[in-house]
Amino acid sequence: MRTGDGLLRRVVRDAGGWTAALAAVTLTGAGAELLLPVVLGLAVDAALTGGTRWWPAAACALVVVLVATDTLGDLASGYGAARATARIRERLLRHLFALDVRTAHRHPVGDLVGRLVGQAADAGQAGTAVVLGAIAVLPPLGSVVALTLIEPVLGVTLLAGLVLLAGLMRAFVTDASAATAGYQKALNSIAGRLLESLAGARTIAAAATRGREEERILAALPELRGYGRRGWELLARASARTAAVAPLLQLSVVAVGGYALAAGWLTPGQLVSAVRYAATGAGLGAVLATLNRLVRSRSGAARVAELLAYPVPADGDRPLPPGRGALRLSSVSVYADDGRPVLDGVDLTVPAGATVAVVGPSGAGKSTLAAVAGRLHDPDAGEVRLDGVPLPRLRPDALRRAVGYAFDRPALVGATVHDAIGLALPPDGAAPPVDGSPATPAVRRAAEAAAVADVVDRLPAGFRTPLADTPLSGGEAQRLGLARAFAAADRLLILDDATSSLDTVTEHRIARAVAGQPGERTRLVVTHRVATAAAADLVAWLDGGRLRALAPHRRLWADPAYRAVFRADGHGG
């Protein structure tokens, strides 16, 4: 929880002037609430003694103030919470996108969405909870002071009861914090598994495992129910105890006040004031509700702060010098979360303009090598240089314009097909032209190189067809991903098994586009296909995270262990 307390303070500030407005309005309401009993008492005494008739009017005015402050308080709390929630969501979303992919993948997507949507909204209530919580204690404490001024014995009576109630609420906060944190964690676990299952719905249907998948998704439901029941039980218990103690406390004050009236220590009006102050002081239901909100805010902030605590890789400030995409990995090592080496001291030089195929058995570290080569994440040891410059020292825009990625299962991002292909282009090259043309020249060239332009042309609105309305096969989606990479890569094109769903004819067409003109750009191609390895200038053979060899395919083919790599993947020939 402590990791979220600093975030809570920032959230309170993020609400801006609405927090100050809420504090001012609520403080005014608390003042009116404390003044009302004494004004009512004076109005009673005035009625009995024939005094001024302005006290009833003053009491009515205070009631109007209470209604107005209650309404304005709701408005300020709503706007303040909305503004703070928007700020924390924006901060979290920017942070998640700034993280390297390895760090982000430590949490299921459903869990991240749960924190971004649910826990961020809980944390956004912090300003309201803190202000209302702080001011909610003023009426009880003010009632103690007022009763003490009326009659010290009455103040002592009310104070003793409030001490008992404060102890009960402190226990509630401690227990409810643990229950709320557990509930949020279990809920996010279910959300994460649900999202995974939705992504693999076709596989689940084909395997007829819907029942087992439902059980897997809902495995945390008993835990969720337990935490939820625990939270409601704690709230109900605290409410019941408060409801039991509060009337006894009021009766005690009334009894003492009645004795004081009989003894001549109080006037009838003062007794009316004392009764009202006793009701105000003992009415801690609002305090309990505010504490419950604060518990949820603190727990939500802790869940969000856990993600914000992940360090973001530092961006460089250097542009790329002139060059053609020479890539060098020096003693590069990457370790899994359990300490197992995924890449172990890899030294690899990819000459500028060359095509290097990366092959190896499953788990050899091919995709990890592709990830560090373009700085999807940094290696744990070693260094990666592009045209002599370490990747962490490059400006992000320079790096992303130099390196283009295509994956086996690309995620297509954007409102239209044109947006998806031009995602990594500068704004002037990604936006559709204003002259009515279907696509910018850069996007059109990339689509043609990826052999997908004819597919896009057949769509209802061509390149401007919304992605949501575009039915794509696995191979067509891969070709759009390739087109995006072609459009983005000025110096280095990295293909991570990006042609696995293509037919032989289409793959041959794309292979020519990948090769391009001699020396045009460097290509790093993760592949399982013999033909792709044979067409490359060099083959980087990975085995167990180590670079076993770097040589032309024809030379490596004489090694039975090298041939076995392709037979194991079903692509031998």
Q: Per-residue confidence of the chain (573 residues) as pLDDT tens digits?
A: 455 677 777 877 777 788 888 889 988 988 888 888 888 888 887 777 766 678 888 888 988 998 998 899 888 888 888 888 888 999 999 998 888 888 888 888 878 888 888 888 888 888 888 888 778 778 878 878 887 888 788 778 777 777 776 776 666 667 777 777 788 788 878 877 777 777 666 667 767 777 777 888 888 888 888 888 887 777 777 777 666 666 777 777 778 777 777 777 777 777 788 778 777 776 665 676 777 778 888 888 888 888 898 888 888 889 989 888 899 999 999 998 888 999 999 999 999 989 999 999 988 999 999 999 999 889 999 999 999 999 999 998 888 888 988 888 888 888 888 888 888 776 655 555 554 557 788 888 888 888 888 888 888 888 888 888 887 877 888 888 888 888 888 889 999 887 776 767 666 777 766 665 555 789 999 988 888 888 889 999 999 899 999 999 999 999 999 999 887 555 544
**Contact between residue 366 and residue 358 where contact means Cβ atoms under 8 Å apart:** yes
> According to the model, what pLDDT value does residue 219 have?
83
> According to the model, what pLDDT value does residue 373 have?
93
**Contact between residue 329 and residue 346 where contact means Cβ atoms under 8 Å apart:** yes
Amino acid (1-letter code) at residue 123 = A
What is d(CA 15, CA 49) in angstroms, rounded to the nearest whole number?
Answer: 50
**Contact between residue 256 and residue 157 where contact means Cβ atoms under 8 Å apart:** yes
Residues with Cβ within 8 Å of residue 174, at least 6 apart in sequence: none
> According to the model, what pLDDT value does residue 112 have?
86
DSSP secondary structure code for residue 543 in this structure: E
> According to the model, what pLDDT value does residue 562 have?
92
* Helix, strand, coil percent values for the chain (each to nearest 5): 65, 10, 25
**Contact between residue 15 and residue 84 where contact means Cβ atoms under 8 Å apart:** yes
Q: How far is CA 230 from the centre of its chain?
A: 26
What is d(CA 57, CA 526) in angstroms, rounded to the nearest whole number?
Answer: 84
Per-residue HEC secondary structure of 315-341 comes to CCCECCCCCCCCEEEEEEEEECCCCCE
Kindly provide the b/e burial profile for residues 131-167, where b requires at least 16 CB atoms within 10 angstroms of the residue's own CB. Answer: bbbebbbbbbebbbebbeebbebbbebbbebbeebee
**Contact between residue 382 and residue 329 where contact means Cβ atoms under 8 Å apart:** yes
Contacts 24+ apart (CB under 8 A), 58-61: none
- Torsion angle, CA of 453/458/460/464, rounded to 10 degrees? 10
Question: Coil, helix or strand for 494?
Answer: strand
Domains of the chain: 2-308 (1.20.1560.10), 327-568 (3.40.50.300)
Alpha-carbon distances of 83 from 80, 264, 374, rounded to whole Å: 5, 55, 37
Strand 381-386 to strand 389-390: parallel, antiparallel, or no bridges (unpaired)?
Answer: antiparallel
> According to the model, what pLDDT value does residue 7 have?
78
Enumerate the β-bridge partners of residue 406: 495
Strand 355-359 to strand 538-543: parallel, antiparallel, or no bridges (unpaired)?
Answer: parallel
> According to the model, what pLDDT value does residue 343 have?
93
Alpha-carbon distances of 499 from 329, 371, 483, rounded to whole Å: 25, 17, 12
Residues with Cβ within 8 Å of residue 208, at least 6 apart in sequence: none
> According to the model, what pLDDT value does residue 573 have?
43
Alpha-carbon distances of 176 from 101, 229, 236, 288, 423, rounded to whole Å: 35, 11, 11, 12, 46
Contacts 24+ apart (CB under 8 A), 500-504: 500/408, 500/528, 501/408, 501/473, 501/474, 501/475, 501/477, 502/475, 502/478, 503/475
What is d(CA 119, CA 180) in angstroms, rounded to the nearest whole number?
Answer: 11
